[in-house]
Amino acid sequence: MLRRRFIGAIPVIVGISFLVFLLMHIAPGDPVSLLLGDDATSAEIERARREWGLDKPILVQYGEFLLRATRGDFGNSLKFGEPVTKLVFERLPATMELALASLLVAILISIPIGVYSAIKQDSLFDHAGMALALVGVSLPNFWLGIMLIYFLGGQLNLLPVAGRIDYGIQIQPITHLYLVDSLITGNFTAFWSALKHLLMPAVTLGTSLAALVTRITRSSVLEVMRQDYITTARAKGLSERTVIWRHTLRNAMITIITILGLQLGALLNGSVITETVFSYPGIGDLLIQSISLRDYKLAQGLIFFFAIMYFVVNLLVDLFYMLVDPRIKI
């Protein structure tokens, strides 16, 4: 089964890469002119085209890109002049840390509210929780981020509004996740600084996810609570806490895990706006730069990497099903 999943992912990833490659090349704007500036002569522009391989037909360029990609080589960025793989892996830990923190925020908010809303169906708490979930889904991330910057950063001066850590604070790189590395090395000054920089972006990304997962959790728990084995568990004299948290929630977790897995992929790939608003140095911010400058090679490498991450996250979700429900076989 796993082998079929890997084989099936190949045409999907190739199709995505071709579509992105084509859209980047037909989009208005000349990358050579943008990168060299208005003072560049025609001879300099033509020489740059030859050096970067942009003078070749599109299909030839795509074939060369795909051939290099199979070896893990996405070429050098036109803007930065460094290997695309190096730039991606330099920025990836920041995005991973933001995505995992946002996921944690969403879980801590959504699971308790969703479960309690299901237990107290049609109560005041249930209606209030669902109303908040609707507001959370409706709020645009960029607006919420700007409001947090204005109030918590500007008016109250409680949290930093940009970056990943205070200037001048050094962290010994181990995993390149600042919170983890600072704890491993016992650098609590760095930990507190990194945490403060992470809070607002994580809350911004985690709020909309929490709203979605709250509604899914409530629906899943309500559906499980109507099953006969829950009635049997109560009839056997088990405490309500055991019935809810051990029997009901565990059987409702398949749906919840599916949504969380899909949304983790979306958080990894879709943090572009949030990273831009908070000047957070992740791969989302790098993607914006690559597209605005028509840096074909960097943009193509990033999108290709996003597609692979989505596949890996979905595969991990499938494997995690077996831990929750051993009856499921991959």
Label residue 93 exposed, middle or buried (CB < 10 Å: 0-12, 13-18, 19+).
buried
Structural domains of the chain, ranges and CATH numbers in brackets: 93-281+306-324 (1.10.3720.10)
What gap in Å lies between CA 149 and CA 221, rounded to an integer? 36
- In the chain, which ranges are continuous DSSP H helix? 2-26, 31-36, 42-52, 58-69, 84-119, 124-138, 141-148, 178-184, 188-225, 228-235, 240-242, 249-269, 272-277, 283-292, 296-324
* Neighbouring residues of 318: CB distance < 8 A, sequence distance ≥ 6: 5, 330
For 9-20, what is each residue's pLDDT tens digit? 778 878 887 887
> Is residue 83 helix, strand or coil?
strand
pLDDT at 198: 92
What gap in Å lies between CA 70 and CA 155, rounded to an integer? 50
> What pTM did the predictor assign?
0.82
For 271-286, what is each residue's pLDDT tens digit? 778 888 888 888 888 8
Handedness of CA 146, 147, 148, 150 (dihedral sign): positive
Contact 260, 103 (CB under 8 A): yes
> Is residue 17 helix, strand or coil?
helix
Residues in the chain with pLDDT < 50? 330
